[in-house]
Amino acid sequence: MKTTRFLLGCILLCAGFAQAAEKPLIRIGARVFTEQTLLAEITAQYLRSKGYDAQVTGGLGSNLARSAQESGQLDMVWEYTGVSLVSYNHVTEKLDSQQSLARVTELDAKKGLTWLSPSKFSNTYALALPANIAAEYPQVHTISDLDRTLRAEAKDNPLVALDTEFANRSDGLAGMVELYGMDLTRKNIRQMDAGLVYTALRNGQVFAGLVYTTDGRLSAFKLKLLEDDKHYFPDYTAAPVVRQAYLDAHPQLAAQLKPLADLFDDETMRQLNARVDVDHQSPSSVAADFLRQHPLN
């Protein structure tokens, strides 16, 4: 009897190991800001419920994330159409959201990457004023207004806060300065972590700062968004981008991710981001709560 129980235990244990080994590994990359961390964490928790062994690598720069995916070190990244269009594929023509998605789908397919069904949100860039500056300069409504005001206030060396990635990307500071003819130099630009830009704006330490349009701190910190009156910033619709080789091995993934992507719109992302950046909840707990509230079959 003992021998029988021992053999049965071994069989069940081996079966458990075999089942665990059968879980497909998916390596998810996330760039170094809250929204990316949340999207990756929500996706990982969701896919684990579907039987995947989902692993997240966070804190990546855009170029590092893309090169890791192209080289097969990452299987999936939540990407933005504008980033792929301008930074990775060097397309400079102005395209709307549908045109942007179609173009990056075509171009990235040649690199072995497939754009799946997109979300319903676009996290584009904007410049914003802190509440004290908006009250002092009520005439500033657009980026062109900001440029004129910065020139007029040049003697006081007004500061503009930018996150480091934007300040050094081809679709970032250099292009904006060129299109708007802005007189921004090292004297009045402060490069910092994206989160610190919001802190500087909230505390009134800078004249203006670069923000993201789905960031939860916009309302919490009473920031005034400026109109991009020359339409510099591209569309930044987010979608899961997966290596085609991974999809060939796991074709069910596209259908599994579509209902998840459908849950994300602008307001949803602002609320999720605010829970981390304003309420200081952990991304893992926010992700778990979101999935509890939005059960997917």
**Sequential DSSP letters for 34-73:** HHHHHHHHHHHHHHHHTT-EEEEEEEE-HHHHHHHHHTTS
Reply yes or no on whether the pLDDT at 222 is more than 90.
yes
Supply the pLDDT for residue 184.
Answer: 86
End position of a domain, from candidates 225, 250, 269:
225
Which residue shows structure tokens 């665990």?
Answer: 20
> In which band, very low, low, confident or very high, does the pLDDT at 4 lie, cut at 50, 70 and 90?
very low
Nearest residue to 133 (alpha-carbon basis) of 217, 219, 207: 207
> In which band, very low, low, confident or very high, does the pLDDT at 170 lie, cut at 50, 70 and 90?
low
> In which band, very low, low, confident or very high, does the pLDDT at 195 lie, cut at 50, 70 and 90?
confident
Residues 104 and 207 in one domain: no
Structural contact between residues 135 and 172, judged by C-beta atoms closer than 8 angstroms: no
Residues 104 and 240 in one domain: yes
CB atoms within 10 A of CB 42: 23
Reply yes or no on whether the pLDDT at 24 is more than 50.
yes
Domain with residue 162: its CATH number is 3.40.190.120
Considering the domain boundaries, does residue 257 fall inside one? Answer: yes
Give me the mean pLDDT over the 26-49 stretch.
96
State the average pLDDT for the chain: 91
pTM of the model: 0.78
Give me the mean pLDDT over the 176-182 stretch.
94
Supply the pLDDT for residue 6.
Answer: 47
Supply the pLDDT for residue 171.
Answer: 66
> In which band, very low, low, confident or very high, does the pLDDT at 154 lie, cut at 50, 70 and 90?
confident
End position of a domain, from candidates 225, 249, 282:
225
The Cα–Cα gap between 218 and 207 comes to: 15
Considering the domain boundaries, does residue 231 fall inside one? Answer: no
The Cα–Cα gap between 53 and 72 comes to: 17
Query: From edge to edge, which strands make up the β-sheet containing 25-31?
Result: 53-60, 25-31, 76-80, 238-243, 113-115
Residues 186 and 265 in one domain: no
Mean pLDDT highest for which of 112-116, 121-125, 211-215? 112-116
Which residue shows structure tokens 């060939």?
Answer: 248
Number of domains the chain is built from: 2
**Cα 278 from chain centre:** 17
Supply the pLDDT for residue 86.
Answer: 87
Supply the pLDDT for residue 17.
Answer: 45
Residues 106 and 176 in one domain: no
User: Residue 77 carries which DSSP code?
Assistant: E
Supply the pLDDT for residue 262.
Answer: 97
Share of the chain above pLDDT 70, in %: 92
Full domain range(s) for residue 166: 125-225
Residues 6 and 116 in one domain: yes
